[in-house]
Structure 1
């Protein structure tokens, strides 16, 4: 009797494990690569440093929506280190004033697989990129440091562009889109110095897109005690050949052109997530 009872328990446990495995398999619709910055200190125009990172809602809200929709997230940074949140983004204004929602999103990020041990971009580029159904680039000022003018980022974006796979970026995240061109570092350095700068073979030339607007950036600069950032991202994108579609400051704005989905500011998080999920679903 004891033996039969043990066998029954074993069979129940086995069936339960199989059921959970099957449920997980059904729930996973595919993988979305999330590209985050490795850096935490933004150099300003005068050479001083400003502490930065990813914006909590710009990363967490779309990440939460993607997971709830059944997608597995794979996190990557240029250095393979853990990304850091910009403490200024830990603010309920980005969550409709809801403290509990902000804390929930913090927990979502804290529980993401690989959040403290991300993949290194160089290693991801050596892997089979076809395993990824889409690419998502959160904002915060950190992308202005190491995702723009980065040849490895350029290779990654070129793959998703050539395959016409959904590519979404929000707020300052779209600045990474300047990387897939000839001599991206020279382009951004010349532009920051005020010299005439021309993008060469930029894969997104003529695309409709958006990015954190200059009026919004100027509001941010008021918190820098008279200091300024090296260049305005929107002006750089326009100089490269983007067809910018900017909305009134601080209003949600998402622009979709072919595989590219861009959001203007932190308040575009939910709309961008919905657009990305819709494109992922249509591509299946």
Structure 2
């Protein structure tokens, strides 16, 4: 039976290649892919990610080839992304402790959440696509956190790219709140590759300037003394496999990240890049 992947994207803009790379690998294997967004809104690629002439400021060069730009645009405009699953309709939202009848509400929350492990049985892996959009609606999204925790409980692989990796750092059990990547080896967007200005989002006329948090620092703290963050600055690619997590630093790592996810699923790969 063909494997099936759940891919979560932001509604505030994803980076074209960071979806294209994994999809090329999955399509080659004949995997089915189901897309999901926080509220079921169709995801859209960030315009710079479709422009081969756009020069990435920290790297001082274009990061999108003409071929990738064409393929990413075709994907972005295709019907594949037309009807994503709504996480809001699927996964309950934890109530405030201050709400009236809070105890009954939290009991209901856990009842509704209890079916999530059964729901994801149909999937063989999870992908969290990167770009600046995840900063807004994936990184600190409780529903995304519950989804990640469910895949971890099921011992199924999770591929996270670029700023999508932040969701791994923040997905924590509500009781002990320890990081699920504690003791793990990961990569992610390092300080050297962060914008100093120009972090933008679709649907919002707002230049945030630099990213609102340095992902590298968060990942260094979240992995703890027995894990490690690997920035691999200066190396053209940076993908780390420390099962069940596959982390890909940024745009140039998208195709390799997808390939490693396939190796995890097909060949039992458990460690790579460290």
TM-score by length of 2: 0.74
Counterpart check, 1:146 vs 2:119 = no
Q: For residues 146-204 of structure 1, give each alpha carbon's deviation from its aligned partner in whole angstroms, at most 9, with x where no partner exists.
A: 212222111111111112211101111101112321569xxxxxxxxxxxxxx932222
CA RMSD of aligned residues (A): 2.4
In 2: Cα distance, 1:279 partner to 1:229 partner: 31
Residues 60 and 109 in structure 1, CA contact (< 8 A), matched pair in contact too:
no
Distance 1:94 1:226, change over 3 A: closer
In 2: Cα distance, 1:222 partner to 1:130 partner: 42
After superposition, where does 1:189-268 map in structure 2 within 5 Å? 200-217=177-194, 220-223=195-198, 227-241=209-223, 243-249=228-234, 251-268=236-253
Secondary structure class of the residue paired with 2:127: strand
In 1: Cα distance, 2:235 partner to 2:86 partner: 33
Residues 246 and 257 in structure 2, CA contact (< 8 A), matched pair in contact too:
yes
Match of 1:64 among 4, 24, 39: 24
Runs of 4+ aligned structure 1 residues displaced above 6 Å come to none
* Matched residue, 1:79: 39
In 2: Cα distance, 1:31 partner to 1:59 partner: 16
In 2: Cα distance, 1:167 partner to 1:112 partner: 25
Q: Which has the larger radius of gyration?
A: 1
Residues 216 and 250 in structure 1, CA contact (< 8 A), matched pair in contact too:
no
Counterpart check, 1:118 vs 2:84 = yes
* Matched residue, 2:71: 104
> Number of residues paired by the alignment?
224
Q: For residues 34-56 of structure 1, give each alpha carbon's deviation from its aligned partner in whole angstroms, at most 9, with x where no partner exists.
A: 01112x2xxxxxxxxxxxx1001
